[in-house]
Amino acid sequence: MPLQDLKVGTTPNLEFAGDYHLPYVNLISHKGEGVDSATHGIDINSAIIEFNIYESVFSNSVTGEMVIADTQNLIAKLPIQGTERLSFIITTKLENSTEDTVIDCRESKGRSMHIFSVTDKRQLNDNTLTYKINFASREFVRNMRTRVSESFEGRMDQMVNKIFTDPEYLDSQKKLYYQKTRNQDRIVVPNMHPFDAIGLISKRSLADIDRSKGAGYLFYETTKGFNFRSWESLCVDKSGRIRDSKQLFKYMQSNIPPQLGDIKQITRIMDGYQNVREYEFLSNFHDVAANTMLGTYGHRVITHNIYNKSYREDDYHYHNAWNNTAHLEDFPAVVDSPVDYDVNDSVGYTAQKGVSDWPESRVSLQSTAPYINSDKNTGNFGTPVEDDGVLEGARVAQLNKIHQGTRLQLTVNGQSRLQAGDVIEFQVPSVENKVNSRGAVDRAYSGRYIITDIRHRIAEDKFLQKLTCVKDSSKQGLGYSGNKSFTEISGGTSKRKGIGIDINKGDEQPVTKTAKTRTGAWYPGAN
């Protein structure tokens, strides 16, 4: 429930998980009304029916929407035309409200949201209009208005910092949380929008993490600022140590609301934040068909060197490359047991192919050449040109493991401190008989996840969040067949040769009945 206004920096006495404090939503018109530093706009909080904010590790900027019930015809009086700004702050009770634990989009902090469209206008009754105000961060609209035409040289993170802060480009006043890259290069950006330019740099960035051989970065915005970092950095720190989870979530069979006046109110609030209202698994990593076609398990990269007119083939192998990158959990999400009768000729002993032994399942082509971006013998990643195929295979596989991993959607009580990219722990009870399982959690689907998408929703006096979370690995080993062949795994059924059958031969056999002659169909007007 929304509470009374209070000074920014203090925490309201919230009674339940899902309570929130939204003291104002100030609209600053294109004509300059409400620019007073004390108010920063006209408060439209009372007119809001539903308030949504979206953030994702796959999106360059935060976006949102408000459903408005307008009884004062503000859309015509101000008017609201799509060039206004919104100033607001949202707090919840989990710990003291600080810059890192609130959703702060205040004009005074240079973090206001920019309205870019008004849609779905309807006449609800004689006195009320409803419509939707769509907004995004300042950098969203700034990106559409500017272009980058410049040659950059140095580390990749330095290039991104330059585009992020340069007055000619994004000119952002927000924080950029970046991870240093282990590679550097010279990159020419040919008249591209800033987000596209950063996307180009992201594909060529290599994480500075111990023992990492991964490739590719993410550039995204949350309600706390912008991020330029690798997927691996979400899982582990620079030294390879796993990151602590931001929040534990549990699914319980029943949700008993706490009672007021209980001396354990704070404990109840904490438990309420842990409780999952609904959950759904959107996809499972074990979609072997999809991951095979996408090259998650096996991928052949053919690199054409246009400098010396040569080419090379590099095969990515999911299981062989497992220890080259960091993961959320300890084990691969699929085992490397034989999946068919084919013998693997690439090893020195008789073995049959597993899911990772089919590089031909995806074949991609890329060009490279030394000396293009610098006077050094480097390729597309600013590293030796011979590494291009290996790094490209690792980059593609990493993206696939994110998009095609185990995807979980949770509906939970809203916490203003949560953001996309956070690690969470999810516990779901096993569906086995509780006597036999002794109340154990499901080890296959419980464990660590990374939040990839958040929908912050305020409606009906409640703050809820819909979290989309991804797991790229397994909490436990799934077992291995040992040295068993595919024949042994399939129950001793040996390989058999298929037989082709000519269906016309059956027509040559003698028949006892006279065959009917096929005639054309009759229709009105036919002769």
More confident residue, 256 or 304: 304
Compute the average pLDDT of residues 334-343: 85
In 379-480 the beta strands, taken as DSSP E runs, fall at 406-413, 423-427, 447-459, 462-471
The answer on pLDDT for 385 being more than 70 is: yes
pLDDT at position 492 is 78
pLDDT at position 42 is 87
Among residues 239, 251, 367, 241, the alpha carbon closest in space to that of 309 is found at 367
- What is the per-residue pLDDT across 357-380, written as a single tens digit (0 to 9) for each? 999 999 999 888 776 656 677 888
pLDDT at position 4 is 33
pLDDT at position 98 is 62
Q: What is the H or E stretch that residue 312 is in? A: strand 310-317
Q: Which two tokens stand for residue 437?
A: 């399982």
Place of tokens 């660590």: 448
- Angle value at C-alpha 270, between 264 and 271, nearest 5 degrees: 85
What helix, strand, coil percent values describe the chain, rounded to 5? 20, 35, 50
The answer on pLDDT for 223 being more than 50 is: yes
More confident residue, 369 or 520: 369
No. of helices (H) and no. of strands (E), the chain: 10, 22
Percent of the chain with pLDDT over 70: 84
Residue 368 CA to residue 380 CA, distance in Å, equals 6
| Least confident span in 89-98, 132-141, 310-319, 420-429 | 89-98
| Least confident span in 96-100, 127-131, 133-137, 477-481 | 96-100
Q: Is 491 left (phi over 0), alpha (psi -120 to 50) or beta?
A: left
The answer on pLDDT for 14 being more than 50 is: yes
- What is the per-residue pLDDT across 201-216, written as a single tens digit (0 to 9) for each? 999 999 999 888 899 9
pLDDT at position 455 is 98
| Strand bridging mode 225-229 / 184-192 | unpaired
Which residue stretches of 40-107 are H helix? 74-77
| Least confident span in 247-261, 324-338, 394-408 | 247-261
Which residue stretches of 250-328 are H helix? 265-274, 288-294
Confidence of residue 418 (pLDDT cuts 50, 70, 90): very high
Compute the average pLDDT of residues 145-156: 95
Residue 103 CA to residue 363 CA, distance in Å, equals 44
Confidence of residue 99 (pLDDT cuts 50, 70, 90): low
